[in-house]
Amino acid sequence: MERLDWSGLPHALPTLWSGMLITLQITVLAIAVGVVFGTVLAAMRLSGVRTLEYFARLFVTVFRSFPLVLVLLWFFLLIPQLLQAVLRIPPTTDIRLVSAMVAFALFESAYYSEIIRAGIQAVPRAQFGASLALGMTYLQAMRLVILPQAFRAMLPLLLTQAIVLFQDTSLVYVIGLADFFRSSANIGDRDGTAVEMVLFSGLVYFVICGATSGMVKILQKKGAR
């Protein structure tokens, strides 16, 4: 059995950090957009307005019916020009990164929507009725009464989905984007240290996801009290 060679790791750290920044950019943006737009979709599903309900249901159904890797390829291969026109992206911008961000944001919105909808429905309906009786509008009741309680209850689920999202960012390799995992693989291929880089990248994912999972367990214990 050949001895593992870790001597090149220190020199690879700047490249790996650049890849990690891309991974974190995609993750943070997808979480932010996913939670915000997911909340809007959840509110539309529960609004009682048939048109809004149909739109939200269709959006969620479409994005949850296809593998994430296929969605990434769609946004990268089929609509880069549309993204550049709509978002007014400068020609120098890496369209792969923009495509990945948009694809992940919309894909995660569908999943966050279902988590948030379940959290809203877990709040006693009498509180919504009481809010309306006090003269609040539907939006005011959701924003001031229902959503704060729902988010406290579903925070562990939101963090769990964030962990899954962070792991799924490695799928951007299909569009050639040099995220953390792709950077590790490229360095391994270049230096002949593929095993070492796979082990190191796996350790990094394990530490980050393990620490976040620990936070989820702590929050679940606090919520159970």
Note the pLDDT of residue 83: 67
Please, what are the domains in the chain?
A: 10-224 (1.10.3720.10)
What pLDDT, in 10s, does the model give residues 93-127?
A: 778 888 899 899 999 999 999 999 988 888 888 88
What are the backbone dihedrals phi and psi of residue 96, each rounded to the nearest 5 degrees, phi first? -65, -40
Share of the chain above pLDDT 90, in %: 44
Over residues 5-35, the pLDDT tens digits come to: 788 888 999 999 999 999 999 999 999 999 9
pLDDT tops 90 at residue 156:
no
pLDDT greater than 60 at residue 193: yes
pLDDT of residue 225: 58
| Residue 224: per-residue pLDDT | 55
> Picking from 36-40, 202-206, 210-214, which range would have the lowest pLDDT averaged per residue?
210-214
User: Is residue 8 within 8 Å of residue 191, measured between CB atoms?
Assistant: yes
Measured between alpha carbons, how far is 225 from 77 in angstroms, rounded to an integer?
Answer: 49
Q: Are the C-beta atoms of 110 and 60 separated by less than 8 Å? A: yes
Are 61 and 141 contacting, i.e. CB atoms less than 8 angstroms apart?
no
